[in-house]
Chains A and B, each alone.
Chain A
Amino acid sequence: MDIKFVVNKKPYTLNVDPRERLIDVLRNRIGLMGTKEGCGEGECGACTVIIDGKTVNSCLLLAAQADGCDITTIEGVGNRRSPHPVQKAFVEVGAVQCGFCTPGMVLSAKNLLDKITHPSDQEIGIAMSGNLCRCTGYDKILRAVKRVAEEGDV
C-alpha cells in the first residue's frame, strides 16, 4: 500500500507492506539508524520517535498507521554545529554512557519540554519513565532534563 509521511521535515511517499512496522521503515528503507530496537514490545523506549507532537514507540506502530503524519526522529534534532539544549545538557551533565537508550531519551525529554517549559521533577520522571536505561541509573539523565527545564531556553 502507498503511504505518505514527513520525516524530519522531508516528505516521503512509500509503498509498504501493511504488516511493516514503522521502525523497520525508518531504519531499513529510509536509513535512519538512530532509532534503536531494544525489545520490540514497547517497553524500553529505545525506538521512540515523535509523531504529531506525541512520543511513540515506533516498534508498536505499523508504518501504514503513520500515513499522513509528521515524524521526528533523532536525526531531525540538532547537530554538532547547533545541538538542541537537551543534547547539550546530556553531554555536559554526563547523561550518556553506552548511548543505546540516548536517542529515545533525548526525544522524550525534548517533547516534554516542547509542551511544558518548566516541568516539575515529577513531570520529568513520568515523561522519562517510558525509556529504559541500564547504565546510568537515570540520575544524570534526570539532572540533565532538569537543567534544561530550569534554564528554559528550549
Chain B
Amino acid sequence: MNTRVVGSRVVREDAWGKVFGQTKFPADVNLPDQLYGVVVRSPHPHARVRSVVIEQAMGLPGVVTVLTAKDVPSNSHGVLFRDQPVLAEYIRMVGDPIAVVGAETLELARAAANLVVVDYEVLPAVFDPEEAMTPDVLPLHPALRPTNVLYHMPIRRGSMVEGWARADVVVEQEYSTQHVDHAFLQPEAVLAHVDERGHMVVQTATQYAHYDRGEIAQALGLRFSQVQVKTMAVGGAFGGREDISLQIMAALMAWTTLRPVKMENTREESFYSHSKRHPMKMHYKTGATKDGKLVAMEARIVGDAGAYASWSINVLRKSAVHATGPYEIPNVSVDSYAVFTNNPFSGAMRGFGAAQTVLAYESQMDLLAKALGISPLEIRQRNMFKVGSTTATGQVLTGSVPLDQCLEKISPYLQSGVDSELVQLKLNIGESTPTEAEQGTPTVNSRKLSHRMKRRGIGLGCAWYGTGYGNGFPDVSSAFVEIHDDGSATVLTGAVDVGQGSNSIYAQIVAEELGLQSEDICVYTGDTDATPDSGTTAATRQTYNTGNAVLKAVRQAKVRLLDYAAHKFSCPTAEGIELEAGFIGVKGDPSRRMPLEDMVFQARLQGERFISAESSTALSTPVDLETGQGAPYWPYAFGCQMAEVEVDTETGLVRVLRVVAVHDVGKALNPTQVEGQIAGGVTQGIGYALLEELELHEGKIKNPAFSSYLIPTALDVPNIEAFFVEDPECTGPFGAKGLGEPAMLPTISAVINAINNAVGVRITSLPATPEKILAALADKKEELG
C-alpha cells in the first residue's frame, strides 16, 4: 500500500515544547493557596498498626490536616483486585503509606510527617517466594487466597515421556533474575483540586487516566462524572505508572480540605511508591534430537509478586506463554507461579514477564547448540516459529510471523568475529601508545606492566512477544474524530502518550486518510472529561489497538464525507471520490474538485457534520485453566539482536560495543520513532543484563537513589544499528504491530550469550556483575586445573 504520511519520518509536534522547556509535567503546575502533602510510610515489612497519634503533628503551626485509614471512605485500590490500601492499617511492605500530612509549605509537611507517631505490632515477615509458598507460612491476603500462591498457570502440551524419550541431548539449568525499578526520570507528582463545578480534578502523569479516575471515584465515593483526571506530560512510565501512587491521597485531601493539594515524590519516595519488575527463579530442562530439533521442554517459574497482586497474574501468565521462546516444541510442561511475599510489590514493567524468560530460553538454545556442535543461528533457524506453527498453548500462528526474515537479516552480522578475539591492552595506559619504558621487558614494575586481558565475543538473542492485554480480557480502544470547517481535524482518545510518541502516530493516521499533513491534525489525549476511554498505555498496544480505533473513527467520518461529496459532484459512487493534498474531488477529473474546507463548510450550511466515534477490540481468548491451551495473545511481535561485548578478565567488567537489532514491526508508521523505541529498549536491556539491581534487606530498599541504583549513561551504550522487517499484520493499522516492549527482550540474552562467547562462562543470574563474572572465571580456572 502506498502511503504519504504514514511511514514517513514526521517530526513529533510535542518535541518542540520539550526542547524549549515549556512542556508541563505535573510537578510544574501549581494553584494559589495549595497545600503540600507528604506521606508517612511504614519502615516495617509486615506489621499491624496499633495506633497513629497525630496530635503532635497537628500542633505544628501551618499543619492543616493529617489523614489516616479511618478518613478514607473506601480504603482500597488495585488493578486486578482492590487489595492495596490507600492508607494502611495492616502493613505488608516497607513503604506502605499510613498517613498523609497536609501543610502550608512542603518543609512544614515534611517536619510534621516526622511527628506522626505510629505504634506497630511487628509481625514475622517472609521474603523468599519458595518459603512463602509453603503451607505453614501464614497467607498475606487471606481474603484473596488461602496461601501465598496468588496464581499458578500450567501449560501441558504433548507427552513429556515421549518427548524425553526422543531427546538425544538434554540441558538443565536454573536461572534467576532480580528486582528492577522502572527509574523513569520524572518522580510521581499530582495536583488535585475541587473546581468551580464541585468536581474533583486531578492532574497527574499516568499511563491510564480513566483507570485513575475510577479508583479515585471509588475511594472517595464519587461518580465517574464528578472526577476529572487530566494527564500532564508523562516523564517515562515503562509500566511503573499503571498502579495508583499518590493520586487518591491527594484527591482525598483536596476533597476534605477544599483546598488544592500538591504532592511530589522525592526519588527515594518514588522507589517505594511504584511496582517493581518481578524477580523470577526459572528451572529449565530442554531436550533436542541430534539433528537439532527441540522435542521437549519443562520449566518451573516462580515469580515474587511482593506485597500486593498488582498485575502479577497477567505477568506470570505471560512468562508461561512465552517460556518456550519463539520455537516449536511438541512436548511442553510449564508451571508458573506468582507468590506473595513482604517484598516491594511487583507489577508491570516493559517486557511484562517475557523479559525474564528470555534469559532462560535463549541460554538454553546456546547450551543445546554447543552440545550438538551446531551454530546458535542454526539451532534457532531449525526450530523457529513460522506461519502455521503451533505454540505451547496450542495456538496456530497465522499471518505475520517473520522471525525467519529477522534472522536472515541479522545473519551477516554473526559471521565476523565469531571466535573470541583476544585483545591485549596495557594496564594503566588505556588505549594510548605505550611509552618507551613500557615497551621494554617487564622487569622493574610487574604490576604496572602486567597485561590486562580483554576478550571480545558476540551473542545472538531472539524473542517473541504477544501484544495486548491478552487472555480474553476486553482490550478496547476508542477514538472520536471531528473534521473542522476549514478542513483540518481533531482526534480525541484516552490513550496517554507516555513519551513514546503515540500522539504523532494518530496524527499521521488521520492525515493519511484525509489527504492532509500531520500538522493539520490536533491530537488531544488522556483527559477523562473530554476523551473516550482507550485502555492503558501498556502491553505494546497503543499503536496497534488505539491506532485501529483512530483509523476506524476517521474512516467512519470520511465515509460520510465521501458520500456527501459524491452527491455534490453527481458522482454515482463514493468510491469515485478522492481526498488529496487538502482537496476533495472526483478521481481523474480535475474539473470536479474543490478545497476540502469548502466542501466541509458547504456541508455545515446544510446541517451535515463529519464527526465520528469508534472502538476497536483486540482478539484473544482465555486459556484453559488446567492445560494452558488457548490463543492468549494476538498479534505476536518477533525480533533478534546481535551483541558484541568486551569482557575484562581482570576486573570482570563488560562493555557492550555494538548491538545490531532486527525487529518485526508489521509496518513502521514512523521509522524515526521505531528506531527510538529500539535504541531505548536495547539500552534498558543492557541495564537489566549488566547493571541494575534493587538491593533489598528484609524488604527495605538499600539503594533507593540513582547514585546506588545504576542505570545506563551515555557512556554505557554501544553503537546501535536498528533494522526492521515489514511483513504487514493484516489486523493492524496499515499493517502495523507494536514494538515498545519487544525492543528490549533480545538484548538481554544477546549480551549474556556474548559474554559466554567471549570468556566461556555462562552467567545464569542477572545482572551479570563484574563480581559474578570474576567468580565464574575463577571456577572455570579451577575446573581446568
Secondary structure at the A interface, as helix, strand, loop or mixed, is loop
Q: Are A134 and B684 in contact (CB under 8 A)?
A: yes
> Is A56's beta carbon under 8 Å from chain B?
no
> Is B499's beta carbon under 8 Å from chain A?
yes
Q: Are B499 and A129 in contact (CB under 8 A)?
A: no
> With a CB–CB cut-off of 8 A, which chain B residues contact A75?
20-21
Q: Are B717 and A137 in contact (CB under 8 A)?
A: yes
> With a CB–CB cut-off of 8 A, which chain B residues contact A126?
715
> With a CB–CB cut-off of 8 A, which chain A residues contact B145?
none
Total interface residues in chain B, CB < 8 Å: 56
Cα A96 to Cα B12 in complex, Å, equals: 9
Indicate which residue in B21, B238, B266, B713 contacts A73 across the interface (CB closer than 8 Å): B21
Contact with B along A93-105 (1 / 0, CB 8 A): 1101111111100
Q: Are B720 and A137 in contact (CB under 8 A)?
A: yes
Q: Which of A33-87 contact B (CB under 8 A)?
A: 33-41, 43-44, 46, 73-75, 77-80, 83, 86-87
Q: Are B18 and A102 in contact (CB under 8 A)?
A: yes
In the complex, what's the smallest C-beta–C-beta distance from B443 to chain A, in angstroms? 34
Q: Are B21 and A92 in contact (CB under 8 A)?
A: no
Cα A101 to Cα B9 in complex, Å, equals: 22
> With a CB–CB cut-off of 8 A, which chain A residues contact B717?
137-139
Contact with B along A103-138 (1 / 0, CB 8 A): 100100000000000000000011011111111111
Stretch from B183-191, B397-405, B541-549, B623-631 contacting the other chain:
B183-191
Stretch from B24-32, B165-173, B596-604 contacting the other chain:
B24-32
Contact with A along B701-712 (1 / 0, CB 8 A): 000011100011
> Is A91's beta carbon under 8 Å from chain B?
yes
> Is B682's beta carbon under 8 Å from chain A?
yes
Cα A96 to Cα B21 in complex, Å, equals: 12
Cα A46 to Cα B707 in complex, Å, equals: 14
Contact with A along B308-349 (1 / 0, CB 8 A): 000000000000000000000000000000000000000000
> With a CB–CB cut-off of 8 A, which chain A residues contact B676?
94, 97, 135-137, 139-140
Total interface residues in chain A, CB < 8 Å: 55
Q: Are A39 and B20 in contact (CB under 8 A)?
A: no
> Is B71's beta carbon under 8 Å from chain A?
no
> Is A141's beta carbon under 8 Å from chain B?
yes
Q: Are B185 and A133 in contact (CB under 8 A)?
A: yes
> With a CB–CB cut-off of 8 A, which chain B residues contact A41?
267, 705-707
> With a CB–CB cut-off of 8 A, which chain A residues contact B17?
99
Residue of A nearest to B22 (CB): A34
Q: Which of B1-39 contact A (CB under 8 A)?
A: 9, 11-12, 14-25, 27-28
> With a CB–CB cut-off of 8 A, which chain A residues contact B673?
94
Q: Are B24 and A38 in contact (CB under 8 A)?
A: no
Stretch from B229-237, B454-462, B638-646 contacting the other chain:
B229-237
Q: A135-B680, A138-B683, A138-B717 are in contact. Are A78 and B20 (CB under 8 A)?
A: yes
Cα A95 to Cα B17 in complex, Å, equals: 13
> Is B74's beta carbon under 8 Å from chain A?
no
Q: Which of B243-268 contact A (CB under 8 A)?
A: 266-267
> With a CB–CB cut-off of 8 A, which chain A residues contact B266?
40
Indicate which residue in B9, B15, B682, B705 contacts A43 across the interface (CB closer than 8 Å): B705
Q: A96-B12, A100-B185, A138-B717 are in contact. Are A39 and B706 (CB under 8 A)?
A: yes
In the complex, what's the smallest C-beta–C-beta distance from A65 to chain B, in angstroms? 20
> With a CB–CB cut-off of 8 A, which chain B residues contact A90?
15, 19
Q: Are B705 and A98 in contact (CB under 8 A)?
A: no
Q: Are A139 and B185 in contact (CB under 8 A)?
A: no
| Apart from the given pairs A36-B235, A103-B19, 7 other A-B contacts in the complex at a CB distance below 8 Å | A39-B705, A74-B21, A78-B20, A99-B499, A135-B500, A136-B683, A137-B676
Binding site for B on A (CB under 8 A): 27, 32-41, 43-44, 46, 73-75, 77-80, 83, 86-87, 90-94, 96-103, 106, 125-126, 128-142
A-B contact list, 30 entries, CB within 8 Å: A36-B186, A37-B27, A38-B235, A39-B706, A41-B707, A44-B185, A44-B706, A74-B20, A78-B19, A94-B9, A94-B673, A96-B12, A96-B18, A97-B499, A97-B676, A98-B233, A99-B17, A100-B185, A100-B186, A100-B233, A100-B235, A103-B21, A137-B680, A137-B682, A137-B683, A138-B679, A139-B717, A139-B720, A140-B672, A140-B676
Closest 4 CB pairs of A and B: A34-B21, A98-B499, A99-B18, A137-B683
